[in-house]
Structure 1
Amino acid sequence: MPRSCLTPDELTTQTTKVRRRVTWELKDRRGGKSDPEWANRRRLLTGRERLSHKRFVKMWNAVVDEDPSGQIVSSYIAKEELRTLLSTVQVGGDPHLTRHRLHRLHRFLTWCINSNIAELLTLAKTVDAWWPEINAFVQTGITNARTEGYNRLVKTVKRSACGFRNRENSARRIRFHCTRAQRSAIQTSS
């Protein structure tokens, strides 16, 4: 799955965007310590299975009481649906699981569309547009994350250099940054 299509942060980014927008609409200001939705921002980004029952109930009740529109809770549910969908990568390519995965995809897309929240509609469009790639990743577990990481390194080196006049120096510096981890592993094993 190309990292540019759906990053893990995009799941939490949509929830954060909804939380910030709703807070601004309700209070005409940014969230603060006294606001339950701001106080529970980390819990909103945490996976359901990592929250104790007590912490989950505390977060859920505080957000439901504070947001009469229910948009923050809807975004949390959409995030959890997508996390459940993507978690099937650990299981493999069983045909029964593929049908289950498609059912989960339909559930996620339906939830996002029915919520009529702009941020969730954007996320649903992204997932729908990139579904063949996402499904290939879920079935095979193969990703181009390493390639994207090296691409980011190359861009960072070029940006920090403010332009090279000498191509050899440019290539040498890029090679140096991209092989840093391998060099340190060789030095420690010797």
Structure 2
Amino acid sequence: MWNTLLSEGRIGQTLLTAWIAKENLRNLLALARTGADRHQVGQARWKFLTWCADSDIPEVRQLATTIDRWWPEIAEFLDTGHSNAKSEGINRVIKLVARAAFGFRNAVNQRLRARCVTTRRARGLLRTAQL
């Protein structure tokens, strides 16, 4: 498949290298759902890091550096399957509401507005309002 796309000139070598690095990272993170052992995780990590190290693309090498720097947290996610995505999402919504409410004279009203948006009942309304 890749050879056909390269020979036809539809994609370049740089794009292909970055795409394969992304796919290797996706495969590594997908191991969280499979309950893979340390050996499988280590092999997937080695495959990703060596691919990135062998590339001549600075962005791909920086991605590998970032993944390596955050490896203890990523390994914990792969072991447990838990992340802090919910709390990060709520924090994002609070920041958006705080920006919209900037300039309220009463700080209590601003806090109340952020609290109301992040309650369970309001979250469903928030999703439909963004559509």
- TM-score interval, normalised by the smaller of the two chains: 0.7 to 0.9
Deviation at 1:66, TM superposition (A): 1.9
Q: Equivalent residue of 1:66, what SS?
A: coil
Contact 1:113 1:124 in 2 (8 A): yes
Deviation at 1:162, TM superposition (A): 2.4
Q: Which amino acid aligns with 1:151?
A: N
TM-score (structure 2 length as normaliser)? 0.83
Deviation at 1:144, TM superposition (A): 0.5
Deviation at 1:64, TM superposition (A): 4.8
Q: Equivalent residue of 1:62, what SS?
A: helix
2:27 paired residue number: 84
1:182 paired residue number: 121
> Is 1:114 paired with 2:58?
no
> Is 1:132 paired with 2:75?
no
Contact 2:21 2:51 in 1 (8 A): yes
> Is 1:168 paired with 2:114?
no
Residues paired across the two proteins, number: 124
Counterparts of 2:116 and 2:21 in 1: how far apart (Å)?
Answer: 42
1:100 paired residue number: 40
Identical residues among aligned pairs (%): 38
Contact 2:17 2:55 in 1 (8 A): yes
Contact 1:64 1:70 in 2 (8 A): no
TM-score (structure 1 length as normaliser)? 0.59
Q: What are structure 2's unaligned runs of at least 5 residues?
A: 125-131
Counterparts of 1:146 and 1:130 in 2: how far apart (Å)?
Answer: 19
